[in-house]
Amino acid sequence: MGRGLTGEGSPQFVALSTVVTMTGLSDPVIQDDPYEYYRQRTADCPVWHEHELDAYVVGGHAEAKEALFDVARFPQRSGSRGMGDESAAAFDRVLTERGWRRTPTLQRTNPPVHTRYRKLINRVFTPARVRDLTPHMEEIVHALIDRFIDAGTCEFVTQFALPMPGTLIAEQLGLERSQYETFRRWADAMLALANRKMTVEEAIAEAEIELEAQHFLAAEFERRRTEPRDDLISRLVHAHGDDEEPLTMDELQDLMHQLITGGFETTTSALAKGMSLLVARPDQMSLLRADPALMKNFIEEVLRFESPVQGLWRQAGCPTALGGVPIPAEASVMVRYGAANRDPRAFEEPDHFDITRADAKNHLAFGFGPHFCVGAALARQEMLTSFTILLERLDHIELAEPLPTPVHLSSFILRSMKHLPVRFTARS
């Protein structure tokens, strides 16, 4: 197989498979390590029809950019957001009857409706806001490292990659720092339908958890209308101008759903992937330590090599073609970022992790075009702050034990590591 998290031959990592014989992207084995499957499918054509999903998958870099940019031909997909109609209907029924049903905003809409939401959300995620948050990020990172540095070992996912972004966002929602696990539970429930197939009973159970989050957020939204603070909720509630209508409760709930799921799970994945890539490649870690100026490019290469979001849905807005493949109107289209970022037509030796790669920033991990991720600057700064301090304080970082098989949680959209046990020595 290619050079992935199994370590380019490193004996510390457990090899998963050498031959891909699985059915497709819904197969948990492929989800765990999809790159050989991507290579096989894109070798003949950068766009293919995935029969089990009844969807067209876009795996080429140029084709993915074309689909993401042209929202007239490939608008956001309408209809069920889950992987099973019955389960999705049951999930939505719980929210409709006792909470707030999804009102499409931002990533779920197309221009010109999308343009309004993008304008509002850009007022929240400003470069100045990211700069203002950076000292607090540093404080969080140091506090997390303080908890495990004397032990000389840690389980990196649960002791750092989860609580780092979780703490930051939890505080922005009005939760205490220690309550980030509550936030994680809500985020997992919000993503459940998109991540895996579920029974109706499982969908209802996950919907009840999201309902809990909705009611908490509703109370916080109302509180911030009259008692604004310097936090994310206040900025959303008061994002409108004097000549604009404020966001409704339905709109606020949907926006917060997207910000929670997009800003927590993905950053957690990127942090865990970044550390796993370094411990599997000591030469790259040594290079980064020797030249800290490479840190920003390291982050871009992590995002290219291991896209936190492997793909998202669009649909064909009209009869069209992409990569020479005819696509009928209203067909489901999955733009697969993970495949596009390993396209040999776009990146030389794409399965080689190289922090000096000159074109690493050409990745599509944050999307492209009108729906480019609004939190990209924040995510990059979280990664930059985290790895800068980690390498300043920890030395001789290595894998403490072989990784479990499968390495990742089962998910159609994300690729999150289960565990990453590392050992190290404290730098004096």
Q: What percent of the chain has pLDDT over 90?
A: 71
Integer angstrom CA distances of residue 392 from 45, 97, 265, 386, 389: 45, 51, 25, 10, 5
pLDDT (tens digit per residue) in 228-247? 988 889 989 998 777 788 89
pLDDT (tens digit per residue) in 363-406? 999 999 999 999 999 999 999 999 999 999 999 999 999 998 99
Residue 21 confidence (pLDDT): 47
Residue 253 confidence (pLDDT): 94
Banded model confidence at residue 175, pLDDT cuts 50, 70, 90? confident
Evaluate if residue 155 carries a pLDDT over 70: yes
HEC per residue, 196-239: CCCCHHHHHHHHHHHHHHHHHHHHHHHHHHHCCCCCHHHHHHCC
Residue 2 confidence (pLDDT): 34
Q: Across residues 189-213, what is the average pLDDT? A: 91
Identify whether the C-beta of residue 318 lies closer than 8 Å to the C-beta of residue 329.
Answer: yes
Evaluate if residue 308 carries a pLDDT over 90: yes
Residue 420 confidence (pLDDT): 98
The closest of 427, 417, 425 to 162, measured between CA atoms, is 417
Residue 173 confidence (pLDDT): 79
- With 0.85 as the threshold, say if the pTM is over it: yes
Is 79 buried (19+), middle (13-18) or exposed (0-12) by CB count in 10 A?
Answer: exposed
Q: Which of 87-91, 253-257, 391-395 has the highest mean pLDDT?
A: 391-395
Rounded to 10 deg, the angle between the 127-148 and 376-393 helix axes is: 30
Q: Across residues 39-57, what is the average pLDDT? A: 94
What does the alpha-carbon distance between residue 279 and residue 251 come to, in Å, rounded to a whole number? 42
pLDDT (tens digit per residue) in 98-143? 999 888 899 889 888 999 899 888 888 889 999 999 999 999 999 9
What does the alpha-carbon distance between residue 215 and residue 94 come to, in Å, rounded to a whole number? 13
Banded model confidence at residue 183, pLDDT cuts 50, 70, 90? confident
Among 20-29, 204-213, 305-314, 402-411, name the one with the lowest average pLDDT.
Answer: 20-29
Evaluate if residue 9 carries a pLDDT over 50: no
Evaluate if residue 18 carries a pLDDT over 80: no
Evaluate if residue 81 carries a pLDDT over 90: no
Collapsed DSSP state (helix, strand, coil) of residue 288: helix
Banded model confidence at residue 3, pLDDT cuts 50, 70, 90? very low
Beta strands in 152-207 (DSSP E): 153-155
Strand-pair partners of 334? 57, 313
Q: Which amino acid is at 180?
A: Y
Residue 126 confidence (pLDDT): 87
| Domains along the chain with CATH numbers | 28-426 (1.10.630.10)
Across the chain, what does the average pLDDT equal? 90
CA torsion angle 315 321 326 327 (round to 10): 10
Q: Which residues contact 265 (CB under 8 A, 6 or more apart)?
A: 187, 188, 191, 308, 414, 416
Q: Across residues 345-353, what is the average pLDDT? A: 97
Strand-pair partners of 394? 426
